[in-house]
Chains A and B, each alone.
Chain A
Amino acid sequence: MKPHPNVKFLRKGVLPHKFCLGCGCGQVLNYLLYAMQELNLDMNKVVLLGGVGCNSRIPVYLNADAIHGTHGRTLALATGIRLTNPELKVIVITGDGDCFSIGTNHFVQAARRNLDVTVILINNGIFGMTGGQAAPTTPIGSRTSTSPRGSVENVFDMCKLAEAAGATYVSRWTTAHNRSAIRSIKKGIEHKGFSFVEIVSQCPTYFGRYVLKISTEKPLEHLL
């Protein structure tokens, strides 16, 4: 049997992944593989950065230099890497909690500097890994494990924030728009300057359970 052409981008010995059934992170990982394949990226010159959260585990599964595991600080790490070696393609894979709760300032400042990195944000509207707490992206009125009477706070529009801060490529799709998302990821990686690709994603386990009150069988429906 011939292996899948994208398998070469995956790190050996780390699979199976830990994403829940129906989670959008697996889809975005797959979109990223297609983007890498179509761009024919030299993985020796790619550095992937993930913070903390379900989405931030994606760099663990990819076969490139990578840092994983500090909450919200990916763009500060990216700054040091990019300034030291301008040949490297730095791709940050982050989530709404990682990038827009704990890491907002680093994101805004890196966008202001128009740092030449690509940020792929997986926005599932909730803190998934820690058990479904409200995030700055949770829709008003949503019941979560830390907003039992419904969230009362306004919601971040992260594309507007990125644009205002100075990002020079900004794009938003959902996990239900696979080809478009792949195209945007490719454009983001090829773009010289700060590029931001938001992919609105589903979290059947917590967002589905607390907010949508639906089963995991129809995870994508609320995105369309």
Chain B
Amino acid sequence: MKRFRKISRTHFMLGNHAIVEGAIAAGCRYFAGYPITPASEISEIMSRRMPEVGGRFIQMEDEMGSIFSVIGASLAGAKAMTATASAGFNYMQEGIGLAVTIEAPCVIVDVPRTRQDIQPTEADIMQMKWGASGDYEIICLVASSVQEAFDLTIEAFNFAEQYRNPVVLISEANISHMRGRVEISEQNKIKLVNRKPAKGPPEEYLPFRAGENGVPAMSRFGEGFRVLYTHNPHDERGHILDVESDPNGYEKFYDRICGKITRDADKIARFETRFLDDADLAIVSYGTESTSALESVIRARSEGIKAAYVKLTTVWPVPEKLLKEVTEKVKKIIVPEMNMGKYVNEIRRISCGEAHVVPLCKNNGKMHSPDEILERIRSESR
């Protein structure tokens, strides 16, 4: 890492390396991981970088070990992260369920990939939100370039700390294994968010009382607040709810842990639109597909087709306000995805028949080329 001694400059960097530097810039000081291609470089680089910045690195026995030790580190006061790929993300669902319930901020990097050939895929896009048991909300961001891999890792930590919720960052296999230009600004110019600390006498502290925006202030283990974190639904004191004696307790609990995210969905929504004002047709995409989508939209415009480009960076919670606006403006929406057609159904749900929503599916480990999307734009606009 010696050649990167001065971090704040322009680099030509591996996607996975950009994620590590983003995490360190965000204040991550605990990393636990388990080897899996194509996320392994994150562990490898972390194992060198964490000791350099006074953090802790550990290679755990499996992905469950990784996510649970990250939760432990988070409750002990560290900003903590783990990284895995599709199959490893399956195992982490259990930990995500706990982190959501006890409101432990943490970041999980997923590098979705196909089996066998380790190609990029978007087949896991629904699992990010619907994988664990119980009612919950998740924040999920998708990077579409190496620069974004850096920027969004910081954003992921900020959201995790602000909302006391696990945040998933998707860096598809081709972003993680791509080398690209990354500009890293001076540390003091990077905006960081930290969890709101618990204050006051411990005997008066209610660890799960909704604070600002429904998010409770958080103590660290060992500060004397003596908090009980239970996976079971709990009241403001953290005590396990008894549905017999408090019939509304469960609803109040789930309403708070889900509501703090859903109420702020528009603030969490990160997206980019181009040529939307006069468009008849829009391409809605996320992740690497958006690079082809942009190229195809620019070419379609040069042919006189009024196409628009909509890129979703936040995929969960669904940016409903933006998508509603898009469906009202255009007649047709094409959704290119590297799967058999998944996120397109969220857009159909929001469109409610206002615009005709067309899936453009491909699941062979390759992203759509601009030509493929352009061809579809031409046929749909005829």
Contacts and interface: CB of A to CB of B under 8 A. Distances in A.
A69 B65 CA distance: 15
B231 A84 contact: no
A55 B61 CA distance: 25
Interface stretch (B75-83, B137-145, B262-270): B75-83
Contacts, number: 128
Interface string B97-111: 010001000000000
Q: Which interface residue of A13, A63, A81, A87 has the most chain B CB atoms within 10 A?
A: A81
Nearest to A87: B222
A85 B60 contact: no
A78 B76 contact: no
Contacts of A84: 30, 56, 72-73, 76-78, 80
Nearest to A63: B226
Interface of A: 11, 13-14, 43-45, 47, 59-60, 63-70, 73, 76-85, 87-88, 105-106, 109
Given A44-B222, A85-B221, A79 B78 contact: no
B284 interface: no
Contact of B71 (A43, A59, A77, A105): A77
Contacts of B65: 73, 76, 79, 105-106, 109
A106 B226 contact: no
Nearest to A106: B65
Given A80-B30, A80-B76, A83-B30, A47 B222 contact: yes
Contacts of B228: 11, 59-60, 65-66, 68
B30 A65 contact: no
A185 to B, nearest CB: 20
B58 interface: yes
Interface string B61-77: 11011111111111111
Interface of B: 30, 32, 56, 58, 60-62, 64-78, 80, 94-95, 98, 102, 220-232, 237, 239-240
A80 B240 contact: no
B231 A77 contact: no
B95 A67 contact: no
A47 B157 CA distance: 25
A69 B98 contact: yes
A102 to B, nearest CB: 10
Given A43-B226, A84-B30, A106-B65, A67 B239 contact: no
Contacts of B229: 66-68
Given A76-B65, A84-B30, 11 more contacts: A60-B230, A65-B227, A66-B228, A70-B98, A73-B95, A77-B68, A79-B65, A80-B74, A81-B221, A83-B56, A83-B73
5 contacts: A44-B224, A47-B221, A65-B222, A76-B69, A80-B70
Nearest to B227: A65
Contacts of B69: 76-77, 79-80, 83
A69 B238 CA distance: 13
Contacts of B70: 80
Nearest to A108: B61
Contacts of A73: 64-65, 68, 94-95, 98
Contact of B75 (A59, A67, A87): A67
B244 to A, nearest CB: 13
A12 to B, nearest CB: 9
A66 B221 CA distance: 9
Contacts of B226: 11, 43-44, 63-66
B122 to A, nearest CB: 29
Nearest to B68: A76
Nearest to A64: B226
A65 B77 CA distance: 13
A80 B222 contact: no
Contacts of A45: 222
A69 B231 contact: yes
